[in-house]
Amino acid sequence: MPSSDPAQRFLDILENIGRIEHFTQGLDAKSFADDETVVFAVKYALMIVSEAAAKLGDTAAVLCPDIPWREIRGLGNRLRHEYDTVDLTRIWLLIERDLPLLRVACHEALRELSGDKTAG
């Protein structure tokens, strides 16, 4: 069921991207993969991102058409149901490559929702 408050869902995504950045600060792919606590925390934060994306429903694609929302939603399912086969190299690439783009898109969506086309 889509959320009645899409702004809150975008904020949830941004909050968890911030957590992931905090958890992984100063790490490289190997040190990330070697730190069980960080891996667990990042996976959990990604599940929240995925769930928030699911709660956004079609609003996500309308406000951020260049983001692969289907894959983001699917990531949560993989983390929940295929937890034992998750490739940490792919998770690391997602952190480095995809989360910065998602962060920018969520900020833009929030500006759109607030009616502010000029805020940065």
- The answer to whether 101 and 71 are in contact (CB under 8 A) is no
Instruction: Tell me what the mean pLDDT of segment 21-46 comes to.
Output: 98
Question: Rounded CA gap, 23 and 37, in Å?
Answer: 9
pLDDT at site 4: 79
Q: Where in 14-117 does DSSP place strands (E)?
A: none
| Digit-coded pLDDT (tens) for 6-29 | 999 999 999 999 999 999 999 999
Residue 119: how many CA atoms within 13 Å on its side-chain side? 11
Residues in the chain: 120
Between CA 17 and CA 47, with CA 4 as vertex, the angle to 5 degrees is: 30
The dihedral sign for the CA sequence 57, 75, 43, 104: negative
Paired tokens of 82: 């295929």
pTM score of the predicted model: 0.91
| Digit-coded pLDDT (tens) for 70-107 | 999 999 999 999 988 999 999 999 999 999 999 999 99
pLDDT at site 120: 47
pLDDT at site 107: 98
- Going from N- to C-terminal start, the domains of the chain cover 6-114
